Structure 1
Amino acid sequence: MLTLYGVPGWGSAISEVMLTMAEIPYHFVDVNGFDNPGPQHDVLEQINPLCQVPTLRLDDGSVMTESAAIALMILDTHPHLAPPIGTSQRALFQRLLVWLVANVYPTFTYADYPERFASDAPEQLKNSCIAYRKTLYQWLDQQLVGPYALGDNVTLLDAYIVVIRTWGPRPAWFTENTPRLSAIADHIAQREELQTVLRSNDLLTAQNAN
């Protein structure tokens, strides 16, 4: 069985939702506190020297990291969780999958730990990243279709939507400023097969807060 190292509600939640969508069993190991010196950091570092979540240990003992890479691995055996190859929707799926991790993720890296990157102006860096992230989400809102991210069929991209809506700048902001993204997240959160994983990551709380 796969072993996923992560923290409830963090980026690992996206991989949990994706694995659940694909009905792939996994064992979850909570490494809350890994981002500071301590036993959880030591546990994760032994598996992934970069000490990041998600970290996925595969059945053969090898390690897979990066949520987009995990998505592509899942699609190897569950191709129905992305639009058909050769379609314009497939191209959009690929674009947005990489866009999310290349553009949105760094704003959290720098805003959550600004003192590591701008010790002379951490608050300025934090505020700038948060403001920029909002513009990214507003652009993303215009790319989404509904009722799921790319139309009538759920894809692995929807795992990102339902999770990121709970992150900063929080659900109320998404409802007001990115209504399409917010509505899609609500729609995904209603899927019966996702209730357990969404609840364990406190992702249903966001839906109720809207």
Structure 2
Amino acid sequence: MTKAVKPILYGALGGGSAIVEAVLTLAGEPYDMVTMEWGEFDQTDDAFSKINPMREIPALKLADGTVLTESAAIGLWAADRHPESGLSPLPDAPERASFLRWLVWLVASIYPTFTYGDHPERYIAETAGAKALRQATDDRRQALWHHMEASLPFAPWAMGGQMTLIDIYIAAMTRWRPRRTWFKENCPKLYAVAERVDALPALEDVWQKNFGA
């Protein structure tokens, strides 16, 4: 009997691959993990550049050799394979359109503030300009989180009564700047969702490995 080949997830501790780990775990999708050091996947001549020429994580190599990048794409792939997980509303569900809007909004609006803010030197050579970009992206991120806090139902999950991919993003991303204490004081609904996801026994090992708690 031929042994099934699992997808291989390429990631680094504490990064966006933690979101994908959580999603695959909750979906019940078996996978193997290649954990890389930060900076390792920036090397242009390493083996990872053949997996993802953009040298960005997460990347998921499927059994047939197809490589999926972008956390939202991987999340939707897993949710479609495991509709019983409820991580994405079904295509004909009335809440599907709103779910897609907010999922893409997260990865298109908030996520890029880390892309630019974490490494401003890649975009601005002057030290003063790099510091200003870092501060501007931090300020913009907080404004975006306030917008999300005011816009979603949070009853009790971000989209309402069913936990979705969006809640997984919130649980991971609230661990990044400006971090949980800020959310507790400024965006208590987002903070409550993050705490609720944290409490899921199935994800205990994922959060411990990536964030130490």
TM over 0.5: yes
User: Corresponding residue for 2:148?
Assistant: 140
Q: Deviations over 1:35-93 (max 9, x none)?
A: 67559x82321211100010111111121000111122112212232224344422221
CA distance in 2 between counterparts of 1:72 and 1:198 reads 21
**Structure-2 separation of matches of 1:117 and 1:135:** 22
- 1:159 Cα deviation from its structure 2 partner: 1.2
Do the aligned residues in 2 keep the contact of 1:17 with 1:159 (CA within 8 Å)?
yes
Q: Distance in 2 between matches of 1:203 and 1:171?
A: 14
How far the C-alpha of 1:202 sits from its partner, in A, is 1.5
Q: Which residue of 1 aligns with 2:79?
A: 75
Would the alpha carbon gap of residues 34 and 60 (structure 1) be closer, same or farther in structure 2, given more than 3 Å must change?
Answer: farther
Is 2:171 the partner of 1:165?
no
Counterpart AA for 1:93 = F
Could you list the runs of 4 or more consecutive aligned residues of structure 1 that deviate by over 4 angstroms after TM superposition?
Answer: 35-39
Match of 1:23 in 2: 28
Q: Could you say which residue in structure 1 is the equivalent of 2:118?
A: 112
Shift of 1:9: 1.1
C-alpha contact 1:5 1:12 (8 A) present in aligned 2: yes
Q: Which runs of 5+ in 2 are unaligned?
A: 1-5
Structure 2 Cα separation of the partners of residues 43 and 179 of structure 1: 43
* 1:96 and 2:121 aligned: no
Q: Does 1:53 align with 2:57?
A: yes
- Report the 3-state secondary structure (helix = DSSP H, G, I; strand = E; otherwise coil) of the residue aligned with 2:110: helix
Q: SS of the residue aligned with 2:109?
A: helix
User: Residue in 2 aligned with 1:34?
Assistant: 39
Post-superposition offset of 1:95:
0.5
Q: CA 1:20–1:165 in structure 2 vs 1: closer, same or farther (change >3 Å)?
A: same
The AA in structure 2 aligned to 1:172 is T
Quote how far apart the aligned CAs of 1:148 are: 1.7
Cα offsets for 1:101-141 (capped at 9, x unmatched): 11111111111110111112111111101100100111111
1:152 is displaced (CA, Å) by: 2.2
Following superposition, the deviation at residue 13 of structure 1 comes to 0.6
The aligned amino acid for 2:134 is K
Check conservation: 1:2, 1:25, Cα contact below 8 A: yes
Matches within 5 A, 1:185-200: 185-200=194-209
SS of the equivalent of 2:89 reads coil
2:160 to 147, 151, 160: 151
Q: Counterpart in 1 of 2:3?
A: none
* Equivalent position SS for 2:32: strand
- Give the 3 Å change call, closer, same or farther, for CA 88–65 of structure 1 in structure 2: same
Identity of aligned residues (%): 41
Q: Is the 8 A contact 1:162 1:203 kept in 2?
A: no
RMSD of aligned C-alpha atoms? 1.8
Residues 179 and 203 of structure 1, relative CA distance in 2, 3 Å threshold: farther
TM-score (normalizing by structure 2): 0.89
Contact 1:146 1:184 in 2 (8 A): no
- Number of residue pairs the alignment of both structures matches: 203
